[in-house]
């Protein structure tokens, strides 16, 4: 069974497929970002809980050692004839000075010695009163209070308030705290770097996709014109008319030359690591600029106005082919992105360097995109409207040529005001 697919449907299917792919890519990167943030927050919570539990364990252990010292001291000082778990005391002697003689050594032995305050309470029903004290309670910072019965009847109790060594706990755990923070920050940095790298890869992929789309249109135009001229030669008896045949052949030659130039230009900048051929010669900039400005704007139907300020004697030692392409790229952009192009070209010499400034009155570029214009495949996003065709390699190529000649290229621009491209090249008179 033969299936006839309407050719009109193919672009729509391709557009739908591309739209679905872009939407899937956006969801993927959004999910990855959310997962990275959740992972980082989970790690931070786990580390915080772990540090808190370690700290809480230190506090609990300190309380346990203090209570152990209190019980030992009570049996030593107050209930001397008692046997814990076997026999109760028959005689209780309550003296806080005697208690201190046992309590302080026990604290030292258990590595829990801190300033403390002690008092003996006597209970009468629900009322209690202090009958004996030792130490000063107001002098304690963040005290821990423990109440322990002295006698078996619960008539007397010992209240001990001891200062909590929070600074000691923290000093013992500072290594753990610092390492935990360092791990969280390190992993946060790694996650942010990975997410940033993925988004850069996404941006690069989008630029390459746009490049493929744009270069297809750029290559299709001269091919279509050449095919149309060839078809006219073959089918409309153009051979009988010498002038018409010559005109069509010139069109074919012109379009094929343009196509060849475009392909060579793409190959020159799209192959990573490719070295440009450098054939230096004396280049008079006034001649080069005059040649480039004569034919500028013809393809777009524009009539640009050029104001050239360059003396005849300004020359540099450079590769004429690449310098021409560099200047042609910048001048072509100045014309393409201006509705009524007025282009000022200023050339000056200073300290062995030549400065070329090309200023236009075009649409300009916002600051957020200005730092990326020299990147490969990059084009300032304009949504779905492409009034000016291109493939994001011209300024990248221009930068490569400038650096090949040990020079620089920079751009200054304001939206709706215009753009100025500054090229600085050494004269290299030797």
| 283 to 158, 178, 288: CA distances (angstroms) | 102, 63, 8
The kind and range of the H/E element at 412 are strand 408-414
Q: Give residue 386's pLDDT.
A: 46
DSSP per-residue letters across 139-184: G-SSEEEEEEE-STTSSEEEEEEEE--HHHHHHHHHHHHHHHHHHH
Residue with tokens 């009539």: 303
Neighbours of 11 (CB within 10 A): 9
Q: Give residue 211's pLDDT.
A: 63
Structure tokens at 375: 């990147």
- C-beta separation of 146 from 67 below 8 A: yes
| HSE-up of residue 40 (Cα within 13 Å, Cβ side) | 20
Q: Give residue 425's pLDDT.
A: 93
Q: Give residue 86's pLDDT.
A: 53
Domain boundaries, the chain: 59-164, 170-270, 280-426
Strand partners, 317: 282
Q: What are phi and psi of 392, to 5 degrees?
A: 70, 30
Structure tokens at 415: 């939206």
pTM for this entry: 0.45
- CA pair distance 327, 410, nearest whole angstrom: 13
Structure tokens at 286: 């006034």
3-class secondary structure, 222: helix
- C-beta separation of 393 from 401 below 8 A: no
Q: Give residue 236's pLDDT.
A: 66
- CA pair distance 233, 318, nearest whole angstrom: 43
Strand partners, 158: 120, 148
Q: Give residue 424's pLDDT.
A: 94
Q: Give residue 346's pLDDT.
A: 94
R_g of the chain computed on alpha carbons? 43
Residue burial 38-56, b: 16+ Cβ < 10 Å; e: rest: eebeebbeebeeebeeebe
Exposed/middle/buried for residue 4 (C-beta within 10 Å: 0-12, 13-18, 19+) = exposed
Q: Give residue 355's pLDDT.
A: 94
Sorted by sequence, the CB contacts under 8 Å of residue 407 that are 6+ apart come out as 353, 423, 424, 425, 426
Q: Give residue 171's pLDDT.
A: 80
DSSP per-residue letters across 324-370: HHHHHHHHHHHHHT-SS-EEEEEEEEETTEEEEEEE--S----HHHH
- CA pair distance 402, 393, nearest whole angstrom: 14
Top CATH class, 280-426: alpha beta
3-class secondary structure, 306: strand
Q: Give residue 370's pLDDT.
A: 86
Q: Give residue 181's pLDDT.
A: 82
Sorted by sequence, the CB contacts under 8 Å of residue 217 that are 6+ apart come out as 389
- CA pair distance 62, 56, nearest whole angstrom: 10
31 alpha-carbon distance from chain centroid? 17
Q: Give residue 53's pLDDT.
A: 87
- CA pair distance 222, 256, nearest whole angstrom: 7
| 374 to 150, 370, 380, 393: CA distances (angstroms) | 85, 9, 11, 8
Per-residue pLDDT of the chain (430 residues; tens, 9 = 90+): 333 333 334 344 444 444 455 555 667 767 777 777 787 788 788 888 888 888 888 889 999 999 999 988 888 888 765 555 555 656 678 888 888 999 999 989 888 888 899 999 898 777 888 888 888 877 788 888 889 888 877 788 899 999 888 888 878 778 777 887 888 788 778 777 877 777 777 666 766 666 666 666 667 777 777 787 777 777 766 566 777 778 778 777 777 776 776 676 665 555 444 555 678 889 999 999 988 887 665 555 578 899 999 998 899 999 888 888 889 889 888 888 888 889 999 999 988 899 999 999 988 888 888 888 888 777 776 644 445 555 567 788 888 889 888 999 999 998 888 999 999 999 875 5
3-class secondary structure, 201: helix
> Of 366, 386, 390, whose CA–CA distance to 378 is shortest?
390
Residue burial 321-340, b: 16+ Cβ < 10 Å; e: rest: ebbbbbbbbbbbbbbbbbee
CATH number of 170-270: 1.10.287.130
Strand partners, 344: 307, 359
The kind and range of the H/E element at 40 are helix 9-77
Residue with tokens 């491209």: 421
Domain 59-164 has CATH 3.30.1140: yes
Sign of CA dihedral 180, 184, 185, 186: positive
Q: Give residue 5's pLDDT.
A: 35
């Amino acid at each position: 069974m033969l299936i006839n697919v309407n050719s009109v449907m193919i672009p729509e299917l391709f557009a739908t497929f591309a739209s679905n792919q872009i939407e899937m890519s956006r969801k993927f990167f959004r999910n990855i970002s959310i997962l990275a943030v959740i992972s980082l927050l989970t790690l931070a919570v786990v580390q915080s809980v772990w540090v808190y539990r370690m700290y809480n364990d230190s506090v609990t252990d300190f309380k346990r050692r203090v209570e152990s010292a209190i019980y030992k001291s009570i049996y030593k000082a107050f209930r001397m004839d008692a046997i814990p778990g076997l026999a109760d005391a028959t005689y209780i002697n309550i003296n806080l000075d005697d208690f201190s003689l046992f309590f302080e050594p026990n604290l030292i032995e258990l590595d829990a010695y801190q300033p403390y305050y002690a008092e003996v309470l006597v209970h009468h029903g629900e009322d209690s009163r202090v009958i004996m004290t030792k130490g000063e309670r107001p002098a304690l910072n963040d005290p821990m209070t423990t109440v322990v019965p002295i006698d078996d009847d619960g008539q007397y109790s010992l209240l001990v308030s001891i200062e909590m060594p929070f600074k000691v706990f923290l000093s013992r755990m500072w290594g753990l705290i610092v390492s935990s923070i360092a791990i969280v920050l390190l992993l946060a940095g790694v996650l942010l770097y990975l997410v940033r790298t993925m988004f850069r890869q996404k941006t690069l992929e989008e630029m390459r996709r746009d490049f493929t789309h744009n270069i297809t249109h750029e290559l299709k135009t001269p091919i279509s014109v050449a095919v149309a001229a060839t078809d006219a030669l073959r089918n409309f008896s153009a051979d009988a008319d010498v002038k018409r045949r010559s005109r069509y052949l010139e069109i074919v030659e012109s379009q094929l030359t343009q196509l060849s130039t475009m392909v060579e230009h793409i190959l020159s900048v799209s192959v990573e690591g490719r070295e440009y051929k450098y054939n230096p010669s004396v280049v008079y900039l006034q001649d080069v600029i005059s040649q480039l400005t004569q034919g500028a704007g013809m393809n777009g139907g524009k009539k640009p106005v050029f104001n050239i300020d360059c003396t005849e004697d300004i020359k540099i030692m450079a590769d004429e082919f690449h310098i021409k392409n560099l200047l042609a790229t910048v001048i072509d952009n100045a014309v393409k992105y201006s509705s009524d192009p007025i282009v000022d070209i200023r050339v000056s010499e200073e300290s062995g360097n030549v400065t070329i400034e090309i200023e236009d009155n075009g649409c300009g570029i916002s600051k957020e995109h200005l730092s990326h214009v020299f990147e490969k495949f990059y084009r300032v996003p304009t949504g779905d409207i492409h009034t000016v065709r291109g493939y994001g390699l011209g300024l990248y190529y221009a930068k490569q040529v400038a650096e090949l000649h040990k020079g620089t290229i920079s751009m200054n621009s304001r939206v709706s005001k215009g753009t100025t491209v500054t090229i600085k090249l050494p004269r290299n008179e030797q």
